[in-house]
């Protein structure tokens, strides 16, 4: 499905936000702290982690919606640096937002919403060409052409998300960041939308970064899965590998929470419940960010952040005790 040359590469990406803590003092909130990964052409990389771990910030920084604090973003073998690079890169990449209710302009008709990227980048010569492109996009995502002149509020959540997806495909992008695109939808609609993502990927050769916190959804759509905790990447492997053999204590806990359809297996499944609360990213623990909730933590974990290293073919993990606990 995918060849080995990466389409998107992220090297040591950091995104810090300065938060005012007093009258004249501020402190960096390390939303994304030294994250590196690559996505091969035609592949779906799933990015999971609990709320507030920095997943969405990774997606937005990757598309330069936020200016990266430091680190490099490469697209198709070219480093994205200048304003011109960013403009070119934005024509080839797109984003599907989490909330189909707030990401669509209530004052615009569906056809204007979908055509907005075409208007911005002046991608058509005649009105007729613009209209044909809109109807073609609507057909791709399963919307009827008679919906074109209606407004977003007249649609259900699932249909609105389809409008958002059609808009993201307007420029024929190669790379799409899907930021929890189904978490605001009913479960019955989620499956339809996810299957549509799969079909569009096959048809258009798309590459996805698929951000979600529902692990079953991610497993269904992803080729590889990356796990984030408090701004750091803690594990990355093939989707099946990370489900069957999670190595990081945090990933193990996440996987133990995935519901199993077989009641006998579900009863035997030992749920790993984490103690303690997630620390604030403003006051993240020293060393490994997970150590305050980790049953295996030692002094070494407080002293240094473990290196994110390859422990088996294609399986990366950041843990000092990975050999001891597996």
Would you list the domain boundaries of the chain? 251-326
Tokens of 270: 């030992």
Longest dimension (CA), the chain: 68
CA dist., res. 256 & res. 258, Å (int): 6
CA dist., res. 3 & res. 41, Å (int): 6
With CA atoms as reference, report the closest residue to 154 among 169, 141, 140, 144: 144
Give 218's contacts (C-beta < 8 A, 6+ positions apart).
Answer: 46, 48, 210, 212, 225, 239
CA dist., res. 253 & res. 35, Å (int): 21
Residue 17 sits at the vertex; the CA angle it makes with 11 and 21, to the nearest 5 degrees, is: 145
Q: What is the three-class DSSP state of 108? A: coil
Residue 141, pLDDT score: 94
Residue 3, pLDDT score: 56
pLDDT tens digit at each of 326 positions of the chain: 445 689 999 999 999 999 988 888 888 899 999 999 999 999 999 999 888 889 999 999 999 999 999 999 999 999 999 999 999 999 999 999 988 888 899 999 999 999 999 999 888 999 999 999 999 999 999 999 999 999 999 999 899 999 999 999 999 999 999 999 998 888 888 989 999 999 999 999 999 999 998 888 899 899 999 999 999 999 999 999 999 999 999 999 998 888 777 788 778 777 888 887 788 888 888 999 999 999 899 999 999 999 999 999 999 999 999 988 88
């Amino acid at each position: 499905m995918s060849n080995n040359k990466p389409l998107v590469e992220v090297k040591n990406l950091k995104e810090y936000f300065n938060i005012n803590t007093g009258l004249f003092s501020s402190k960096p909130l390390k939303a994304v702290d030294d994250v590196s990964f690559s996505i091969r052409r035609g592949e779906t990389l799933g990015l999971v982690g609990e709320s507030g771990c920095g997943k969405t910030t990774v997606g937005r920084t990757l598309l330069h919606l936020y200016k990266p604090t430091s680190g490099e973003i490469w697209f198709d073998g070219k480093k994205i640096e200048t304003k011109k690079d960013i403009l070119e890169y934005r024509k080839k990449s797109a984003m599907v937002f989490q909330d189909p209710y707030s990401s669509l302009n209530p004052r615009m008709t569906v056809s204007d919403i979908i055509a907005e990227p075409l208007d911005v980048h002046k991608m058509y010569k005649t009105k007729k060409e613009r209209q044909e492109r809109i109807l073609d996009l609507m057909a791709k995502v399963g919307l009827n052409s008679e919906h074109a002149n209606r407004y977003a509020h007249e649609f259900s959540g699932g249909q609105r998300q389809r409008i958002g997806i059609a808009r993201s495909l307007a420029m024929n992008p190669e790379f799409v960041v899907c930021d929890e695109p189904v978490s605001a939808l009913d479960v019955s609609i989620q499956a339809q939308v996810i299957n549509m993502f799969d079909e569009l990927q096959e048809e258009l050769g798309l590459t996805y970064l698929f951000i979600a916190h529902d692990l079953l959804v991610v497993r269904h759509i992803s080729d590889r899965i990356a796990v984030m905790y408090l701004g750091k990447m803690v594990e990355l492997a093939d989707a099946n590998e990370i489900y069957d053999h999670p190595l990081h204590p945090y990933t193990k806990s996440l996987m133990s929470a995935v519901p199993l359809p077989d009641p006998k297996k579900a009863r035997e499944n030992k749920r790993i419940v984490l103690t303690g609360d997630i620390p604030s990213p403003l006051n993240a623990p020293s060393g490994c960010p997970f150590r305050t909730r980790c049953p295996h933590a030692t002094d070494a974990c407080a002293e240094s952040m473990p290196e994110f290293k390859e422990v088996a073919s294609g399986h990366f993990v950041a843990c000092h005790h990975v050999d001891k606990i597996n």
